[in-house]
C-alpha cells in the first residue's frame, strides 16, 4: 500500500511539474506576441502621430509630402466597404442558409463545403488574379470601383459562409423541432426560430471578414487600382484608390516624410478596424441577451 501511495504521489508531482512547464511555455508565447504587437504599435504611433491633422483628411495624395493627404483613399475605402457589405452579407448568408438548412448532406454538398472551407484559406492575391480575369477583362469593367467591390466580395464570401454555417449549426435542434411541432414551414422555421439565434455569430463573422477586407492590398493592386487619385469616384465605373494602397505607395518611397504619412495612415486604419471589432462585440452581446 505504501509503495502504491508513493507511486501515486510521484505521478501527481510529475503531472504538476508538466502543468507548470506548459503554463510557463504558454505564458512566454503570449508575452512574446503581445510585446511584439505593442512594439509595432508604439513605433507606428511615434512616427505618425504628428502627421494626424485636418490636412490629412482634406488633401489629396501629392508628390510633396507636406501637401499630401488621404482624402481620396479614405472615401474610396468607405465606398468599397459600403458597397461590399450588403452584397457579401446577402450572398454569404444566403449560401450558408441553403447549405445548412436546405441542401441536405449529400456527397456533392460535402464536396462544395470542403471547397468553400479551402477557399477561405487561399492567399488574397489569387482573388486579385480572379478579379482581373473575370471583372476587369472578361466583363470589361476596367479598373473601376465596381471591379474592386466584386473582387473583394469574392475574397470575403468563403469566410462569411463558413462563419454563418457555424452560427446556424450552433442553434439547438430543439428550436427547429418546436417550430415544426407548431406547424411552421421550413422558411418560417429558418426565419423566425433559427436566424434570430444565429444572428450574433453571423454578424460577428461578417464584420470580422469586412475588417480583413479593408486591410487588403494585393487583390486591388492586381486589378489595377490606382496609387495616385486626385479626385473622388462619382459612379461605380470611376477609378478609385483605398488606404492600404496609398500607405503601400508612401512606405515604398525613400523620403522619411512619406514614411511618417504612411504611419499616420496606418493609425487611421487601425482605428477603423478597432471600431469595427467593437461593433462586432456589441452586436454579439446585444443579440445574445435576446435569445
Q: What is the pLDDT of residues 78-132, one digit of tens each?
A: 998 899 989 999 999 999 999 988 888 888 888 888 888 888 888 888 888 888 8
Task: Give me the pLDDT at residue 124, please.
Answer: 85
Whether 28 has a pLDDT exceeding 90, the answer reads: yes
- Provide the H-helix boundaries in the chain: 2-48, 54-58, 71-97, 107-119, 124-131, 145-169, 173-181, 186-189, 195-213, 218-222, 243-251, 256-290
Query: Hunting for cell 467591390 — which residue is that?
Result: 149
Task: Give me the pLDDT at residue 196, please.
Answer: 85
Task: Give me the pLDDT at residue 30, please.
Answer: 93
The answer to pTM > 0.85 is no
Query: Hunting for cell 512606405 — which residue is that?
Result: 251
Task: Give me the pLDDT at residue 272, please.
Answer: 87
- Choose the weakest-confidence range: 64-68, 144-148, 204-208, 282-286: 282-286
Distance between alpha carbon 118 and the CA centroid of its chain, in Å? 16
- Choose the weakest-confidence range: 23-27, 154-158, 165-169, 200-204: 200-204
- Sorted by sequence, the CB contacts under 8 Å of residue 49 that are 6+ apart come out as 264, 267
Cα–Cα distance, 64 to 67 (Å, whole number): 6
Cα–Cα distance, 165 to 193 (Å, whole number): 15
Cα–Cα distance, 259 to 48 (Å, whole number): 8
Query: Hunting for cell 492567399 — which residue is that?
Result: 123
Query: Hunting for cell 488574379 — which residue is that?
Result: 129
Q: Of 243, 268, 219, 234, which is closest to residue 145 (Cα–Cα)?
A: 234
Task: Give me the pLDDT at residue 7, please.
Answer: 64
Task: Give me the pLDDT at residue 26, please.
Answer: 93
Contact between 219 and 152 (Cβ < 8 Å):
yes
What are the distances in angstroms from CA 97 to CA 93, 113, 166, 263, 279? Answer: 6, 12, 11, 41, 23
In the chain, pLDDT over 70 holds for what percent of residues?
A: 95
Whether 226 has a pLDDT exceeding 80, the answer reads: no
- Sorted by sequence, the CB contacts under 8 Å of residue 63 that are 6+ apart come out as none
Task: Give me the pLDDT at residue 231, please.
Answer: 79
Query: Hunting for cell 504558454 — which residue is that?
Result: 26
Distance between alpha carbon 230 and the CA centroid of its chain, in Å? 28
Fold of 54-289: MetI-like fold (1.10.3720)
Whether 133 has a pLDDT exceeding 60, the answer reads: yes
Q: Of 134, 154, 136, which is closest to residue 216 (Cα–Cα)?
A: 154
What are the pLDDT digits (tens) for 239-262?
888 888 888 888 888 888 888 888
Whether 32 has a pLDDT exceeding 60, the answer reads: yes
Task: Give me the pLDDT at residue 56, please.
Answer: 85
Cα–Cα distance, 285 to 164 (Å, whole number): 17
In the chain, pLDDT over 90 holds for what percent of residues?
A: 18
Indicate the pLDDT class of residue 279, thresholds 50, 70 and 90. Answer: confident
C-alpha cell of residue 237: 465605373
Task: Give me the pLDDT at residue 160, please.
Answer: 92
Amino acid at each position: 500500500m505504501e509503495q502504491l501511495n508513493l507511486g501515486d504521489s510521484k505521478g501527481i508531482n510529475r503531472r504538476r511539474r508538466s502543468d507548470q512547464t506548459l503554463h510557463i511555455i504558454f505564458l512566454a508565447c503570449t508575452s512574446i506576441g503581445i510585446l511584439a504587437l505593442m512594439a509595432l504599435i508604439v513605433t507606428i504611433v511615434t512616427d505618425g502621430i504628428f502627421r494626424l491633422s485636418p490636412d490629412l483628411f482634406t488633401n489629396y495624395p501629392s508628390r510633396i509630402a507636406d501637401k499630401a493627404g488621404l482624402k481620396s483613399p479614405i472615401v474610396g475605402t468607405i465606398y468599397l466597404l459600403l458597397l461590399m457589405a450588403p452584397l457579401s452579407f446577402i450572398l454569404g448568408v444566403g449560401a450558408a442558409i441553403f447549405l445548412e438548412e436546405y441542401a441536405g448532406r449529400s456527397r456533392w454538398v460535402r464536396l462544395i463545403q470542403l471547397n468553400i472551407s479551402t477557399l477561405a484559406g487561399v492567399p488574397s492575391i489569387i482573388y486579385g488574379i480572379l478579379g482581373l480575369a473575370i471583372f476587369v477583362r472578361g466583363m470589361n469593367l476596367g479598373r473601376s470601383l465596381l471591379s474592386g467591390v466584386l473582387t473583394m466580395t469574392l475574397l470575403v464570401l468563403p469566410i462569411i459562409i463558413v462563419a454563418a454555417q457555424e452560427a446556424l449549426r450552433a442553434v439547438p435542434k430543439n428550436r427547429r423541432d418546436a417550430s415544426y411541432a407548431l406547424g411552421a414551414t421550413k422558411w418560417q422555421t429558418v426565419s423566425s426560430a433559427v436566424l434570430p439565434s444565429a444572428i450574433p455569430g453571423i454578424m460577428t463573422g461578417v464584420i470580422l471578414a469586412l475588417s480583413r477586407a479593408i486591410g487588403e492590398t494585393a487583390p486591388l493592386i492586381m486589378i489595377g487600382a490606382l496609387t495616385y487619385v486626385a479626385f473622388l469616384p462619382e459612379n461605380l465605373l470611376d477609378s478609385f484608390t483605398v488606404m492600404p494602397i496609398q500607405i503601400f505607395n508612401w512606405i515604398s518611397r525613400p523620403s522619411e516624410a512619406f514614411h511618417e504619412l504612411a504611419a499616420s495612415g496606418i493609425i487611421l486604419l487601425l482605428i477603423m478596424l478597432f471600431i469595427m471589432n467593437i461593433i462586432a462585440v456589441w452586436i454579439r452581446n446585444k443579440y445574445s441577451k435576446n435569445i
